[in-house]
Structure formats: structure tokens, C-alpha cells
Chains A and B, each alone.
Chain A
Amino acid sequence: MTPWIGPFLPLAALIWPLLLGALTAMPPLRPVAVRLLPLAPVPALWLALAGGQGVTAAPDLLLGVTLELDDARRLLLGMTAALWLVAALAAQPMTGRPHTAIFSGFWCLVLAGNLGVFLALDVVTFYVSFAAVSLASWFLIVHERTEKALHAGRVYIVIALAGEVALLVGLIIGADAAQSMAVGEIRAALGAPGSSAVGIALLVLGFGIKAGLVPLHVWLPLAHPAAPVPGSAVLSGAIVKAGLFGLVLFVPEGALGPVLMPLGLVGAFGAALWGLTQANPKAVLAYSTISQMGLMIMLVGAGGAARETVPFFALHHGLAKGALFLLVGVMMAASGRGRRLLCLALAAAVSASVAGLPLTGGALAKAAVKQGLADWSALALSLSSVATSLILIWFLARLWQMQGRDEALWGARFALPAALGVLAVTGPWLLWSAWSGHGPDYLFKADTLIDALWPVAIALPPAAAVLRWRLPQLPPGDLLLILGAWRGRAVRIPAPLSLRADADGALRAARRNSARLEGILIRWRLTGVLIPLLVLLMFALLP
């Protein structure tokens, strides 16, 4: 047995959170389990920052685990690790609350899965990681055990399991087509002419669910707000990216573009607009996430350079969305006007970045992806910024409406989204050249600036209108509300096929009849005749 080949760090980055997760189950550590969480993403973060070359293989694990890090993976890995780290720090106030040991354990499991998705080079590791993310995150959603959370959990688990199945089947089709377990080969095989479209469709289904692809997104606005704030942050910031990355990894170039692009756009606009009907700021953010993911899915569908730069876009969105969710938590812990204003200001800044206000990280991300887009889709992207601006302004308004009460260590709490926000706004600058192929000067060109600015500007009047005349406020769940009747209907199956019969009655009848026949046979005058008859019969039969 060879434990592993190649660099150990990628493997450690996955095993370490699992170990910590196992530790949280130890009775002495249970009360303080949350304290361990910030340690979990550290190796992964180190790996992302330090980079690493070469493939790590652990041939005995699963069906042979192989891990590798390329640029895109590294970017997402870093973002994810950072977000998880910050979220873990933000989760510290949960220490001592009920169920935190379970929460912590699954936190680690989801984290490991989330990292594994970005590291996996073979389909089985990928699938295992994805399943860990997908299913274990259920525990993050239902953690509060409120009626709402449990409902969200139910919806989530049903859809997630369906997604798992679709994924499993799709991956199996892919692996068979490729005659290989390697991710790259599977994508190539699926893209080869004549290969089964069913496989791709199933993969899109599986990943789309996680990535919030309309109309598979219905769980998301329920689940993300239901989780505790740190949970929401990772769900919306990092976990959805697993689905997105799956699409990037497995869906062949150009395949299903005509499907993915419109669906992405529908998500991008529809979700943003529907978000305006939400009162809960977390729900608003969730719709914003759907909207942003819609954009990214459109980019994947568009293919080419746009698709290549999706990780860059995702990086920004992950960090920013994480910051925004955390800010909701911070706002809940603030009652003083100063603190509330500070929160609002930070939220506004991050929101502006997400909306793509010039020179923010968001603007950079959008600029980077726009290069690879056709004109109409670039326009759509710009227009989506209008919707984004609209919903985020609405978010800020809803955020301001929140009433919290002061809690200890507010400064430290505030520092966390602040750090994320700073990273979101500035991080793209550091990577700009590598991902866009342009120098920083491109960003300061008038075209670029105007391109980024006008959608935000357009959004302001309708935003004011929305703030003034509210849209009807609806519970989250859009399509689910429409399909409400669907819930809870049980499957009826006909009664079992069984060999049951009226045994007693049959026995009685048989007893009666057999006694009758035996009663006839026992009469010698009758049976006796059979003797000579039988002799004669046999005589006739013999020669």
C-alpha cells in the first residue's frame, strides 16, 4: 500500500478538516467545538497561497484519489478557504449554544468537501467531495431547528438528493464514455461528437441545482436565509461555487450553450427582481446570489474566454457575498446609530462592488469576463448590473431596517466582513493582469468606466421608486409557492403481492373432502374389486 504520491499538502488540506470534524465529536471537545473551526481551512489557505505543482495521488483511497492545483482551482481554493476561515471566526459567538458540536462537525465535513471539489482530479473524489458539500450542508441549514429552517431543510434535501442522483448517473455516463475516471478526459469524451447528450443534461441538472440554476434554484432562497449567519455566508459565497465549478469542469465547451445562457439570464434578472419582494435581508441576498450565479452560468454557457474567466468572477462574488451575509449578522449585533451606519456604509461599499461600480473588484470582474462575450451578451451583462444595483439597494434598505441589540466584541465582529469586503474590492486588482491579459490602465479607460457606471446610474430611479412604493412582500420560494400543492403527496402502491389465502378454510374443506374419499376407499367391497381388476389390467399390460 502506498499512502500517497506527490505533494502531501493537498491531501492534508482535505484530511485536516475531516480530522477536526472527528475531534468535535469527542465528548470533552463538544462544548468548544466551534473554537476549532478556524483551524480547519488553514492548510488549504496555505496551499492556495503557496501554490503547488504536481499531482497528488492516494491510490488506495476511494477509487484512487488524485488531486491537482491549477490556476483556476487555486483561485477558487483560496477564496473558499479564506471565506471559510472568516466565517469560522464569525461563528465563534455560537460557542456554547445547543447543537454546536454537530454544527461544527458538519461544518468541517462541508468544508472538506468544498475544498475537495476544487482539488479533485478524478471523478470519484470529485463526486465524494460534492456529495459531502451537498448533503452535509443540510445540517448547516437546519441548525436553528426552527420550523422555517426545517422546512427549508426538507426542500433542500429532496432537491439535493435528486441532484446527487442526476450527478451520479451523469458522471457514470461520462466515465464510461471516457473509459477513464479523470475529469479532463470525461469532459473531452462528453464533448466528443456523437456522445450522449443525456449525460451532459444530467450533469447540468446536478450541478445546476447546487449553482442555483433557474428553475432548480427553488431551495436556495429558503435555505440560505435559514442557516445561521456564518452558514449563510459559506453557503452563498462558497458552496454554490462548487456547483458552478462542476459545470466548468465537466460541461464541454459549447455544449448546452443555448440552454445555459438563457436560463442564466432569466436567473440573473428574474431573481434580482423577485428579490425585491423579500423583506428578510438574508433572503434578498439569497436572491442576489441566484442572480449572480445566473450570470456566471450564462458565462459558462457562452464558452470561450468568458468561461475561462468565470473563476475570477466567482472569486469576487464569493468574497463579497460572504461579507454581505456576515454584515447582516453584525447589524443584528448593533444598536447604536454609529455602528449601524458603519455597517451600512461597509455594506454599501461591498454592494457597489457587486453591482460593478467602476474601479471596484466587481467592475474588474465584469470587465474581465466581458471581453470574451458577444455583443448582445455583453449588453445583457451590463443590463444585469441594473438589476443587481436595484436589488442591492433594496438590500441596504432592508438591512437598515433591522433592529439589533449590542453584543460584545462588536469591533472584532465588524472586522471580519470588513476584511472580506476589502479583499473583495481589492483582491481582483492583484489578479487583474493575470486573468484579463490587460494592464491596470485598461481599467481607467473612459469606456470601461462608463460601461461600469451607467447601469448603476440607471438603477437609481427605479430603486427610489421601489423604496417609495414597495412591491408586495412575499415569502421566499417563488416557484415553490406556485407548486405548493406538490408538497407532501405520498405515493400510493397497491397492496403487496402475497401468497396469503384463507388457509383455515382451505384446510377445513380439504379435511372434509379427503375424509369423504377415504371413506369411500376404505369400503372393502369397493376397494376389494380393484384387486382382481388391477390383476387383469396388469395382466393385459404384461406380454
Chain B
Amino acid sequence: MTGLLPIFILLTSLVPAAITFFLRQESYRLRNALNLGGAVVKGALIVAMLVAVAGGASFETAIPLAPGLVLLLRIDALALLFVSLSATLWLLTTIYAISYLGEKPEQSRFFGFFSLCVFATTGIALSGSLISFFIFFELLTLSTWPLVAHKQDAASLRAARGYLLYALPCSTILLVAIVWLESATGPILFTDPPDLSGVDPASLRVIFALFIVGVGMKAAIIPLHGWLPAAMVAPAPVSALLHAVAVVKAGAFGVIRVIYDVFGIERVAELGVGTPLAALASFTIIWGSLRALQQTEIKKRLAYSTVSQVSYIILGVALASPFAVIGGLAHLVHQGLMKITLFFCAGIYDERAGVRSIEGLDGLGRRMPWTSTCFSIGALGMIGLPPIAGFVSKIYLGIGGLQAEAPWVLAVLGASTLLNAAYFVPLLYRLWFREIAPDAEADERAPALVGPAVAAALAAVLAGMLAASDISPLGWATLISERDYLE
């Protein structure tokens, strides 16, 4: 039974996906029940697993595909962190999406791919070998595409094409990297780091770079970020999925796996590739923020904000000092909570007030206080305002930067905070201090839309408020780094 738990967890997303595809548009109830049920059951299973792991159990399931090609599902603390995040946010997003989509067409396709996306993300989290990781990583690419293209208008299709234009070359590069490395070492399992001594350092550096390009595209590292802002044309739940639940997270998660479980910190340090990566991440942080400043559409601004924020995670793991790692890992969750809040709210503004551009936010704070409060919390958290989760990450990253003898990281963090403020504060200002246009129609009578936003915002606040507790993202990150990476 316990050996099958990872498989069951995967099935909680796959089964609803498979059934949903064949449902008629009118089967609202069944579809919603399936998706919500899947999300809830998954949550329950993850809790069960958490309990079991805390009790010392370990889970590992291997499905051989071909010699040298084993689908290995395995649970370690990092996997748990990611899978818990995605499962929680999936539940919220599902509730939100059901309400958001209302009676719009093509829902079976939407929810089918939606669940498939989560299936892939869960698979990424639970992958115990490099090739399993790649398989799910690609599945994610593919199942995301129909979601980005969901509206089927020209802009959506363009965005979807752009997404693949980035994703497929990068996944090819990733495959080359995997194959190159595995041809020298044999199949790479995350349980025991491969022996890389047989490969010459120059090749290893190239392979590392290929890996980073391969997974970094999903994490929207500049210059591989172009797809993300374009993809904001997708419906709000999809944006939430892209920015918080699945895609960019998978990329960041991939970077973590590559650095810690494929190469190992020592090897990364030996090769001297950590610092360039950290520098790249820093550049992304700054550049993403600068670009965000120029955007006039809410979701686009949020998208560039994600570009910037996700690189915090990468910065942390690339610096590889204890605090930086913890900060990076914790930011994986923190960013997810805050950004999903923001996208939920952006979706509500769009849906209930028809507002997409920043100008439209004027005075919405009074008409839509809950939404606007959540939005403000998300935005302030992004800036790093305590006690919302973001500041914890920043503190840890900063200290980590100093530990890694990279004091310039502080400058990056500082500049980024200022820039974050520069692009978020005007929004808050408009929300709360401008007068609403007299003919504006805005309300938030949609509890299933607002509820998830409130929950996510609350979670973001709690993650910061209770950062020191064992069950907080930070506590977890600490545990992971102590247990797995920094003996």
C-alpha cells in the first residue's frame, strides 16, 4: 500500500483528467466534483504521506520502461515541499477556476488539461530519477499548451506558439544534457549522486549550462523568459497555474534538482558554475523588474514580476550557502502563495470589473475591498514588506549571499525591492486613493473567486508570520537543506 502511495497521488490528478476529457460541456456537476474531489483526495493523501514520512517511512516506486529508462517515483523532503505547494494551490485554483469559467465553453478540455498539468507537476515533484523528471517535465510543457491557447483567439494562439517556441528547443537542450551526462554515468537517480569523476570538467561545464538552459526556460531566466509575459493572455486560472502552481515552479525546482541532486554542491563549486548562474539570476531579477515597470497591463506587470521573483529561488540555490539555500527553497513556496493571490485578484478585476489595465484600477479598493486587500497583501509581500512571506526569503537570501562571499547579492536584493515597490505601489495607490470612474461597474459578489484569493493571501501572511515554526515553508526549507544537502 505505502509503496503505491506516490502512484495514488499521481492518479488523483490523472484520473480526473482522463475522465474529464470525455465529459460533455453540460456535465458541470460531475466535472466539478471530479476535479475538486481529486484535489481534496490528493491533499488527504499528501497529509497521509507527510505523517508517514515524519514517522520515518520512505516511498519509492520504480516502473521500468526500458533498460536504462526507469520511471522512478520517490519522496524526499524537497519533493514533499513542492508537492504540498502544488496540491494546495491546485485546490484553490480549481475552486477559483470553476467559478471563473462559469458557463464558458470548452470546459472539459480546460479542466482535463488542467488536471493533466497538475499530474505532470506532481510527477516532477515525485520524480526520483533524471529521466522521470524529464518525462514529466515535458508532459507539463505539452499539457500547458492547450491551456495557454484556451481562448483560441489570435493572441492566445500567438502566446501558445511563443510558449512552445521557447519550450521545445529548451527541452531538446535538456534532453541532450541528460543524455550526454547519462551516457557517461548511467541512469542518474536523485537518491545517490552520480559519480562524475569520469567526465572532464570542460564537458561538465557545458552540460551544466545545457541543463540550466533546459530547465531555466520554465523558470523564465532571462533571456528565456519571453513566453511568460506573453502567456498572460490566458484565463486567470491558467496564469495562476503558470506562475504559481506549476510551470515556473517546475523550472525552479528543476534548477534545484540539477544543482543538488545531479551535480551536487561540491561539484558545482569545483566547476565554478554557481557564481555565473547566480549572476544570471541576479540580472534576471533586476531586468524583470525594470520590464515590469514599463507594463501597463496588470497581468503583464505581474508576469514580469514573476520573471524577477522566480530568480530569487535560483539565486538562492546557486549561491549554495546554507542560508541562501533555505531562502531559495522557502521562496519557492512564498512566491507561489503571493503570486497566486495576485493573479487571482487580477482575474477578479477582469471578471467582475472588466479591468485589465492599470488605469482601470482607480478606486476599486472601495468597491472590491476583499479583492483589493488581498491584492495589496500580495503586492506588499512581493516588495518584501514584513510580515508577509516575501521578506523572510529576502533576509535569508541576503545573509546567504554574505555567507557565500557574494556581497553584491545585497545590492541586487536592495535594487529589486525598490523596483518591486516602484511597480506595485502605484497600483495600490490607484486602488485605494483614486476616485472610481462614475460609470464603472464593479463588485465582488463571487465568493468562489474571492475565497481562494483570501485563502492564498492569508497563507502568504501566515507563512511570514509563523516563519520560524517547523511547519512553515521556511521551517521546511531548513529541514530539507539540513537533511539532504548540507550535512
Contact = CB atoms under 8 A, between A and B. Distances in A.
Q: Consider the complex of A and B and state whether they touch directly, i.e. have CB atoms less than 8 Å apart.
A: yes
Nearest to A150: B433
Contacts of B222: 497
A173 B411 CA distance: 11
A462 to B, nearest CB: 42
B291 A496 contact: yes
Contacts of A47: none
A64 B410 CA distance: 23
B387 A172 contact: no
A41 B413 CA distance: 35
Interface string B418-450: 100100010000001100000000000000000
B293 A491 contact: yes
A176 B399 contact: yes
A498 B158 CA distance: 14
B161 to A, nearest CB: 9
Contact of B294 (A102, A198, A493): A493
Nearest to A162: B418
A1 B472 CA distance: 12
Interface stretch (A123-131, A289-297, A312-320, A348-356): A123-131
Interface in A157-213: 157, 161-162, 164-166, 168-169, 171-173, 175-176, 196, 198
Interface stretch (A55-63, A257-265, A328-336, A479-487): A55-63
A408 interface: no
Contact of B418 (A135, A145, A161, A176): A161
B468 interface: yes
B201 interface: no
B165 interface: yes
A130 to B, nearest CB: 9
Contacts, number: 113
A135 B421 CA distance: 11
Interface stretch (B95-103, B182-190, B242-250, B459-467): B459-467
Interface residues of B, number: 47
B385 A131 contact: yes
A498 B226 contact: yes
Contacts of B384: 164, 168
A142 interface: yes
Instruction: Tell me if B's interface is mostly helix, strand, loop or mixed.
Output: helix
A61 B465 contact: yes
Nearest to B227: A499
A251 B294 CA distance: 38
Contacts of B417: 161, 164-165, 168
Given A60-B468, A150-B433, A499-B226, A127 B418 contact: no
A1 B469 contact: yes
B176 interface: no
Contacts of B425: 157, 161
A172 B386 contact: no
Interface in B381-415: 383-387, 391-392, 394-395, 398-399, 401-403, 407, 410-411, 413-415
B386 to A, nearest CB: 4
Contacts of A62: 386-387, 392, 464-468
B402 A173 contact: yes
A64 B466 CA distance: 8
A132 B380 CA distance: 11
B391 A493 contact: no
Contacts of B411: 169
B276 interface: no
Contacts of A150: 433
27 contacts: A1-B469, A25-B373, A59-B469, A60-B468, A61-B466, A62-B466, A64-B468, A65-B468, A131-B385, A131-B391, A132-B386, A135-B380, A161-B417, A162-B418, A165-B413, A165-B415, A168-B395, A169-B411, A169-B414, A172-B394, A172-B402, A173-B402, A176-B398, A493-B290, A497-B222, A497-B226, A499-B162
Interface of A: 1, 25, 59-65, 102, 124, 127-128, 131-132, 135, 142, 145, 150, 157, 161-162, 164-166, 168-169, 171-173, 175-176, 196, 198, 491, 493, 496-499
